[in-house]
């Protein structure tokens, strides 16, 4: 066991109109917030199952399981908030968001337990062009010159189609030895929600919630089929 590896979860209070707004429509803003809350709950369950220390970096009021440390997010853009989290938590860290409830706790534990000597950073690309995981070693003093670990992220453009590529280049340009982990799909819109739903654990919070929206899935699927039919010559 590598007791010095901490998982950081970037989490946000799930208020209607503040989270998962790209799910509206076809979902209401309240339903989108419920989906975000279930995704966060599954994420917290997954990181808790690793047995590693967990820090929840929270924007707003976020409830965390007993034993998790909660710290507030700073103000500013996502790059600033991630950067501050990396500077606040010492030792080796694995940072994830709350939009990949399908993440595998066994993978996270394996990264922590078998962190190779020749790997300074892990990055898990997201299929939308972002990244779902960022792991940073406990870099020795002076390894980044006058920069802190948070500076590895500050200034990286977030929420664009190539955020993950930008972030990886930043790590490499700082002379870090980077290794990729398998990509995952973030829940951003209806299409990505369908994709993630297909691989969820049936015992999870989100898997238990989604049957409530079966009519939405069926209606949007029917519209899609009709559009395909109208497009045929």
Q: For position 104, what pLDDT does the model report?
A: 98
Q: For position 189, what pLDDT does the model report?
A: 96
Measured distance CA(134)–CA(117) in Å, rounded? 17
User: In sequence order, what are the beta bridge partners of 126?
Assistant: 184
Q: For position 4, what pLDDT does the model report?
A: 82
Residue indicated by tokens 């853009």: 77
Strand pairing class (131-136; 121-125)? antiparallel
Measured distance CA(98)–CA(118) in Å, rounded? 29
Q: For position 109, what pLDDT does the model report?
A: 97
Q: For position 2, what pLDDT does the model report?
A: 46
Q: What is the pTM of this model?
A: 0.94
Contact predicate 167/123, CB 8 Å: yes
Q: Cβ neighbours of residue 66 under 8 Å, at least 6 residues apart?
A: none
Largest Cα separation within the chain, whole Å, is 65
Q: For position 154, what pLDDT does the model report?
A: 98
Measured distance CA(72)–CA(62) in Å, rounded? 10
Q: For position 223, what pLDDT does the model report?
A: 63
Strand pairing class (69-72; 5-12)? unpaired
Taking the domain 5-230, which CATH number applies?
3.90.550.10
Strand pairing class (69-72; 54-59)? parallel
The low-confidence residues of the chain, meaning pLDDT below 70, are 1-3, 222-233
Q: For position 228, what pLDDT does the model report?
A: 64
């Amino acid at each position: 066991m590598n007791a010095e590896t901490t998982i950081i979860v970037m989490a946000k209070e799930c208020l209607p109109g503040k989270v998962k707004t790209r799910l509206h429509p076809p979902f209401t803003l309240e339903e989108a917030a419920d989906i975000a809350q279930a995704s966060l709950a599954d994420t917290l369950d997954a990181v808790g199952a690793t047995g590693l220390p967990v820090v929840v970096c929270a924007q707003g009021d976020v409830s965390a399981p007993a034993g998790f440390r909660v710290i507030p997010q700073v103000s500013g853009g996502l790059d600033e908030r991630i950067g501050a989290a990396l500077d606040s938590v010492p030792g080796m860290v694995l940072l994830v968001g709350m939009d990949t409830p399908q993440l595998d706790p066994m993978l996270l534990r394996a990264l922590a337990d078998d962190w190779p000597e020749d790997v300074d950073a892990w990055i898990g690309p997201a299929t939308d062009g972002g990244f779902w995981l960022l792991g940073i070693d406990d870099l020795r003093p002076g390894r980044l010159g006058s920069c802190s670990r948070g500076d590895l992220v500050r200034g990286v453009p977030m929420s664009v189609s190539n955020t993950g590529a930008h972030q990886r280049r930043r790590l490499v340009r700082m002379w870090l030895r980077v290794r990729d982990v398998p990509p995952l799909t973030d829940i951003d819109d209806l299409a990505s929600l369908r994709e993630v739903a297909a691989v969820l654990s049936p015992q999870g919070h989100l898997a238990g919630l989604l049957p409530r929206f079966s009519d939405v899935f069926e209606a949007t699927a029917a519209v899609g089929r009709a559009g395909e039919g109208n497009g045929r010559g």
